[in-house]
């Protein structure tokens, strides 16, 4: 009887997991179909889907996963997709998120490559791409604004962001070096702050 009850419960327990995996694949497939320009444009879609709509993640979660995804080798948005999928449904979720995101690009690029000689000089195609690029700028700006509200909550964060922006604009310093410097500065700031508070408590 016990084993029979266990067998009856297994499909019910597995059903929500399969629904979650299919939902992850479908969501990232849809994002892959409508992501143009920089991969940053997909972050706004992630927030709308999993923070605002489904309440499965917070804005801080998306920011942390994005930071980790940018800090490791590979394509940033693919890394972030893997991390989000893993956060939601483990390793299968991460694999399906990446597969769903990249599948539309593979299909579309195959078609574009095949018909490239016919469309590369097409005026209508060029105008459509200009419109897409203009819309992507607005999407990226909105994403940066939302991320900034969550990340720039104290003076040290604002200072690090300002310094990194100036370095990006006027120097050739690598992104990896800037991230490492940002981590070190934040750790030094937190250490100095904790030391000051400890001395104040003793006095």
pLDDT confidence of residue 8 = 44
Secondary structure element (H or E) that encloses residue 127, with its range? helix 123-151
SS3 120: coil
- The pLDDT mean for the chain works out to 81
- Structure tokens given for 151: 């990340």
Model confidence, pTM: 0.63
pLDDT confidence of residue 20 = 93
Residue 41 pLDDT > 80:
no
Calpha distance 14→116 (Å, rounded): 45
pLDDT confidence of residue 38 = 61
Distances in Å between the Cα of 48 and the Cα atoms of 55, 59, 149 are: 9, 10, 16
Calpha distance 103→99 (Å, rounded): 6
- For residue 69, the tally of other CB atoms under 10 A from its CB is 21
Task: Give the residue carrying structure tokens 């702050």.
Answer: 193
């Amino acid at each position: 009887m016990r084993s029979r009850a266990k067998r009856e419960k297994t499909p019910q327990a597995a059903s929500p997991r399969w629904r979650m995996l299919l939902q992850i694949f479908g969501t990232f497939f849809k994002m892959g179909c409508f992501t143009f320009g920089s991969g940053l444009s997909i972050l706004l879609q992630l927030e709308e889907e999993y923070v605002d709509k489904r309440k499965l993640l917070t804005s801080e979660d998306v920011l942390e996963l994005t930071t980790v995804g940018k800090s490791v080798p590979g394509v940033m948005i693919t890394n972030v997709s893997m991390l989000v999928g893993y956060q939601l449904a483990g390793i299968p979720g991460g694999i399906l998120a990446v597969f769903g995101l990249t599948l539309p690009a593979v299909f579309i690029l195959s078609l574009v490559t095949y018909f490239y000689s016919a469309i590369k000089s097409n005026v209508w195609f060029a105008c459509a791409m200009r419109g897409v690029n203009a819309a992507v700028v607005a999407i990226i700006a909105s994403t940066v604004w939302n991320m900034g509200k969550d990340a720039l909550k104290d003076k040290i964060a604002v200072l690090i962001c300002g310094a990194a922006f100036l370095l990006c604009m006027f120097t050739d310093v690598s992104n990896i070096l800037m991230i490492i410097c940002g981590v070190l500065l934040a750790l030094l700031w937190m250490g100095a702050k904790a030391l000051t508070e400890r001395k104040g408590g003793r006095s």
